[in-house]
Amino acid sequence: MLVSLNEIKKYVDISDLTPEDIANKLTFAGIEVENITHQAFGTNLVIGEVLSCQNHPESDHLHICKVDVKDEILDIVCGAPNVRKGLKVIVAKVGAKLPKIEIKQAMIKGMTSNGMLCSLLELGVDSKFLKEEQIKGIEELPIDAPVGEKDVLKYLGLDDTILDLSLLANRSDCYALENVAREIGALFNRKVNIPEVKNDATYTDNNFKVGSETVNCPSFAIKIVKGIEIKESPKWLKNVLNSMGIRSINNIVDLGNYIMLRTGRPLHIYDLDLIKNDLTVKDNLNLKFKALDSKEYQINEGDLVVTTNNEAVCLGGILGGKNSEVNASTKNIAIECAVFNHAQIRKTCSRLGVSSDSSLRFNKGVDENITDYVLNLTTNILKEISPIKEISNIISFNKIKPIDTKLIMKKDYINNRLGTDFDFEVIKDTLEKLSFKVDVDNDLVTVIPPSYRKDIKDKADLSEEVIRYLGLDHIKSSLPTMKTTVGKLHQFEDKKRIIEDYLLNRGLNEVLTYTLVSKKEIEESAIFTKNQPYEISNPIVEDHKFTRTMILPSIIKCAVYNYNHQQTNFGLFEISKLNILNKEAEEHLSLVLFGKQFKQDLLGFANYSYFDAKGILENILNFFNVQESRIKIERINEDNTYLHPYRSAKMFIDNKLFAYFGELHPLKAKELGINKESIVVLEADLSLLYKTKTKNNKFEPISIYPVSYRDYAFIADSTFEFGKLKTELKRTSHYIKDVHVFDIFSPINLDDKFKSIAIRVSIDGKDHTLKDSEITEVDTKIREALKNVMKVELRK
């Protein structure tokens, strides 16, 4: 909302205040002033008269002028095409500061110039308010302009300062200049004079009927004025509109806009001769409507339409109709002041994609109680700007019952809520300055807010009024005195932090990517998960249309971004909640290992592999004390083109799917533009892990008996699986503590599919030192198992 301070001055004396004072006070009281702008700007200006004007001998467009500015006669070189003898002009003297330049004495092609003749554009007036000739040439002042007048901006009506208010939803009352004046008056403790209006009806109209067939228009009133004349608006009216960002059209249209800016109530003005003898609001129509902007709109049921004899003449509160528009030949008018439901206005505006100053105000809610005031004010002013023959009474339909908001509170309520210690008299005085009625009855206080403060509905609202007026700096600091409580992280947050810290310490970077993804990522995720996404019905872009069901596609994108920015060896991970259709949200961990990792030897690097991802998972499971026996691992579908079919796996805890991991499929890598670097990925459902019940950590005594080791080497073919071997060997004797692989290689003399494998078995007696005979027995069982169950050939 743009507010002209010149207009405010008409209602409240602010002559001793700077615009900054006013802006600051308003801002702290909850009405933020975003910007202060001057309508035009210039120092050292004076009105002059061109005494003589000759062409510059050395230029085809410059003129040498002598300009009378009363105290002296100045030589000025001017390039404007319209400069001529006898013209009254705006002179910026040497030393003048204009928005873009400072005027200095200058030599222009050999001639001295002591100033500049100005256009309004050069004084900073927005070009949208100027005609073409005003932009091309210097301003031509009226012939009666007083030569020597130094307050040129005031003479021009361009001495206004504009505050740009950023209004929050509760203060829609400040979409009216009068209410802004009231607010400023209250904040600076000054009297506010809003002039009274007179009922200026010259006749009573008994023929015209108004009405509404919908609850969404509870009040509809008009006033008829006959014998008006459409013409240019007077200067004051043009200036007000210009300063508040509205273009002047003609006196009648301008008046409608002025009344809206001043009172906050939008008007609509019909050419009386283009409508019949009735105006009725309906909301059950389906039709095409041609509006003032010459566009055609589809009206549906629900939209509020003003009709005359069943023909639509106005889209209520939003746009007038082309068929009843005030035009150059209009003689008689009907001025409408109605109340349209804010929710319905918003609905229609958003469906049709239109909005106007009028719909904006209805949207926020208007003061319904001032209809008569507004209509009378309109005709009172109309009389000043147009000839008039007849003015009717107010013809109205009104179903609004006045609501008396009465708030009752205890005397100490406000101080208790704010933690302040104001005297009650100060509180009472404050509320009264803000135009609230305050009645005190012993300990109980009854407060009635003014009708335009529709936001005041509860006694808590009064506490805000008091403190925003007296200043929030009156609130002291004092910590709450509550029962002591133990602070706690969310139940899974501790667990999440353990995983985060482990991965960070392992050198992986923790990233943050978007929840919303495109269809492509959902399709990729569907390779792995049956979880379904939520689909956004009104997405901003197609790339952000679904809630992701896996993090992996996002984090791979992130890795590719970094690869394309010259990063070669790195790890990324993200832990995020996923929103899944018709299911509880899951928390997932996803990670990418890209390129090579640092190995222990000096300057040594090795490609990331399947085993790095597996190792990470095993470590995490170990933190959570999940026993190896509860974990199962399987190869994933060989047909998938996302992960390497033979270097990837899924992992289960208690037969529930926990994670996918492995090396990226070469085709997928190629698609991403990565040819050489190895990429290992993983996605795990941490919520499953969080919920898995595990044994508590308890101290287990360290065995005091020595552990024995036996090594075996054998040749195995490609069907051999270490996991199976381990299970089988452990089954042969309870003395077998663990089985490790310490060498795998392909001997040169053997076919590729055969490998030589060496294992070490640790044998532990637990409660006694194993005798040789016992060890031999275990050894025999191991050899038998290798030969008979695993079908491998022991090397000699």
Partner 1 sequence: MDIKKYFDDITKEFIEELTKVKTYEELSVVRIKYLSKKGVVPMLMLKIKEVSDKKSFGEAYNKIKNFVELTLNEKQKVYETEKLKQELEKEKIDISLPGSSLKRGMMNPYYKIIREIEDIFVGMGYQVEDGPEVENDKFNFELLNIPSDHPARDMQDSLYIDSNILLRTHTSPVQARVMQKAKGKPIKVICPGKVYRRDDDDMTHSHQFGQVEGLVIDKNINMANLKATLELFIKSMFGEKREIRLRSSYFPFTEPSVEVDISCINCGGKGCSMCKNTGWIEILGAGMVNPKVLTMNGYDADEYSGFAFGIGIERVAMLRYGIDDIRRIYQNDIRFLSNFNKICED
* Contact positions with partner 1 (CB under 8 A) in 469-508: 472-473, 475-480, 482-490, 493, 497, 500, 503-508
| 534 forms part of the interface with partner 1 (CB under 8 A) | yes
- Window 727 to 786, contacts with partner 1 (CB under 8 A): none
Q: Please, what is the minimum distance in Å from the beta carbon of residue 297 to partner 1?
A: 21
* Torsion angle of C-alpha atoms 345, 349, 350, 352, degrees rounded to 10: 140
Collapse the DSSP code of 600 into the 3-class scheme (helix H, G, I; strand E, B; otherwise coil) and give the result: coil
From residue 723, alpha-carbon distances to 14, 555, 629, 741 in Å are 88, 31, 11, 11
- Window 420 to 439, contacts with partner 1 (CB under 8 A): 420
Among residues 413 and 735, whose Cβ is nearest to partner 1? 413
Please select the residue that binds partner 1; options are 200, 429, 461, 618, rule is CB under 8 A: 461
Q: Please, what is the minimum distance in Å from the beta carbon of residue 789 to partner 1?
A: 40
Please select the residue that binds partner 1; options are 393, 396, 513, 640, rule is CB under 8 A: 513
Q: Please, what is the minimum distance in Å from the beta carbon of residue 546 to partner 1?
A: 10
From residue 502, alpha-carbon distances to 505, 511, 608, 616, 714 in Å are 5, 15, 18, 9, 37
Distance of CA 448 to the CA centre of its chain: 36
Rounded Cα–Cα distance for residues 256 and 326 (Å): 11
Please select the residue that binds partner 1; options are 112, 127, 446, 567, rule is CB under 8 A: 567
One character per residue 289-328, x = contact with partner 1 (rule: CB under 8 A): ----------------------------------------
Rounded Cα–Cα distance for residues 248 and 257 (Å): 9
Please select the residue that binds partner 1; options are 81, 146, 148, 419, rule is CB under 8 A: 419
Q: Please, what is the minimum distance in Å from the beta carbon of residue 289 to partner 1?
A: 24
The backbone region for 432, taken as left when phi is positive above 0, alpha when psi lies in -120 to 50, beta otherwise, is: alpha
Q: Specify the length of the chain in residues.
A: 796
Type and span of the H or E element at 53? strand 45-55
Q: Please, what is the minimum distance in Å from the beta carbon of residue 714 to partner 1?
A: 35
Q: Please, what is the minimum distance in Å from the beta carbon of residue 569 to partner 1?
A: 10
Helices (H), 194-335: 235-243, 251-263
Type and span of the H or E element at 164? strand 161-166
Please select the residue that binds partner 1; options are 152, 163, 558, 613, rule is CB under 8 A: 558
Q: Please, what is the minimum distance in Å from the beta carbon of residue 490 to partner 1?
A: 4
Please select the residue that binds partner 1; options are 325, 390, 464, 779, rule is CB under 8 A: 464
Among residues 104 and 599, whose Cβ is nearest to partner 1? 599
Is residue 643 a contact partner of residue 681, using CB atoms and an 8 Å limit?
yes
Paired tokens of 762 = 């640790």
Is residue 160 a contact partner of residue 244, using CB atoms and an 8 Å limit?
no
683 Cβ partners below 8 Å, 6+ apart?
Answer: 528, 550, 551, 552, 588, 589, 590, 659, 660, 661
Among residues 92 and 558, whose Cβ is nearest to partner 1? 558
CB atoms within 10 A of CB 759: 21
Among residues 26 and 210, whose Cβ is nearest to partner 1? 26
Please select the residue that binds partner 1; options are 579, 678, 708, 732, rule is CB under 8 A: 579
Among residues 105 and 564, whose Cβ is nearest to partner 1? 564
Which has the closest alpha carbon to 745: 737, 754, 736?
754
Q: Which long-range contacts (CB under 8 A, 24 or more apart) does 202-205 make?
A: 202/390, 202/391, 202/392, 203/390, 203/391, 203/392, 203/393, 204/392, 204/393, 205/392, 205/393, 205/395
Among residues 185 and 571, whose Cβ is nearest to partner 1? 571
- Window 342 to 361, contacts with partner 1 (CB under 8 A): 342-343, 346
Type and span of the H or E element at 690? helix 686-691
Among residues 20 and 71, whose Cβ is nearest to partner 1? 20
Among residues 581 and 750, whose Cβ is nearest to partner 1? 581
Helices 357-364 and 342-352: crossing angle in degrees, nearest 10, is: 140
Q: Please, what is the minimum distance in Å from the beta carbon of residue 510 to partner 1?
A: 5
Among residues 26 and 395, whose Cβ is nearest to partner 1? 26
At position 58, the amino acid (one-letter code) is E
- Window 194 to 253, contacts with partner 1 (CB under 8 A): none
φ/ψ of 608, rounded to 5, equals -65, 145
Among residues 604 and 706, whose Cβ is nearest to partner 1? 604
- Window 14 to 53, contacts with partner 1 (CB under 8 A): 27-30, 32
| 417 forms part of the interface with partner 1 (CB under 8 A) | yes
Please select the residue that binds partner 1; options are 537, 629, 749, 788, rule is CB under 8 A: 537
Which has the closest alpha carbon to 228: 199, 262, 196, 269?
269
Q: Please, what is the minimum distance in Å from the beta carbon of residue 344 to partner 1?
A: 9
Rounded Cα–Cα distance for residues 87 and 74 (Å): 14
- Window 139 to 168, contacts with partner 1 (CB under 8 A): 168
Which has the closest alpha carbon to 613: 585, 638, 580, 636?
636
Q: Please, what is the minimum distance in Å from the beta carbon of residue 413 to partner 1?
A: 10
Among residues 139 and 612, whose Cβ is nearest to partner 1? 612
Please select the residue that binds partner 1; options are 369, 393, 398, 515, rule is CB under 8 A: 515
Q: Which long-range contacts (CB under 8 A, 24 or more apart) does 533-537 make?
A: 533/579, 533/580, 533/581, 534/579, 534/580, 534/581
Q: Please, what is the minimum distance in Å from the beta carbon of residue 385 to partner 1?
A: 33
Please select the residue that binds partner 1; options are 4, 39, 119, 172, rule is CB under 8 A: 172
| 602 forms part of the interface with partner 1 (CB under 8 A) | yes
HSE-up (13 A, CA, CB side) for residue 587: 15
> How big is the site for partner 1, counted in residues (CB under 8 A)?
90
Per-residue HEC secondary structure of 240-275 comes to HHHHCCCCCCCHHHHHHHHHHHHHCCCEEEEEHHHC
| 595 forms part of the interface with partner 1 (CB under 8 A) | no
- Window 678 to 737, contacts with partner 1 (CB under 8 A): none
| 418 forms part of the interface with partner 1 (CB under 8 A) | yes
Q: State the pairing for strand pair 278-282/209-212.
A: parallel
**Residue 787 has what DSSP assignment?**
I
Query: Which part of the chain contacts partner 1 (CB under 8 A), choosing from 133-141, 233-241, 465-473, 611-619?
Result: 465-473
Please select the residue that binds partner 1; options are 93, 265, 364, 650, rule is CB under 8 A: 364
- Window 609 to 648, contacts with partner 1 (CB under 8 A): none
∠ CA 238-250-199 to the nearest 5 degrees? 85
Among residues 4 and 435, whose Cβ is nearest to partner 1? 435
Query: Which part of the chain contacts partner 1 (CB under 8 A), choosing from 49-57, 195-203, 371-379, 456-464?
Result: 456-464
Among residues 27 and 518, whose Cβ is nearest to partner 1? 27
Among residues 674 and 792, whose Cβ is nearest to partner 1? 674
529 Cβ partners below 8 Å, 6+ apart?
Answer: 549, 550
From residue 745, alpha-carbon distances to 240, 748, 752, 753, 754 in Å are 91, 9, 10, 11, 9
Q: Please, what is the minimum distance in Å from the beta carbon of residue 607 to partner 1?
A: 16
Among residues 480 and 673, whose Cβ is nearest to partner 1? 480
Please select the residue that binds partner 1; options are 61, 136, 209, 577, rule is CB under 8 A: 577
Rounded Cα–Cα distance for residues 281 and 174 (Å): 28
Among residues 355 and 640, whose Cβ is nearest to partner 1? 355
Please select the residue that binds partner 1; options are 398, 451, 562, 692, rule is CB under 8 A: 562
Among residues 143 and 602, whose Cβ is nearest to partner 1? 602
Among residues 170 and 369, whose Cβ is nearest to partner 1? 170
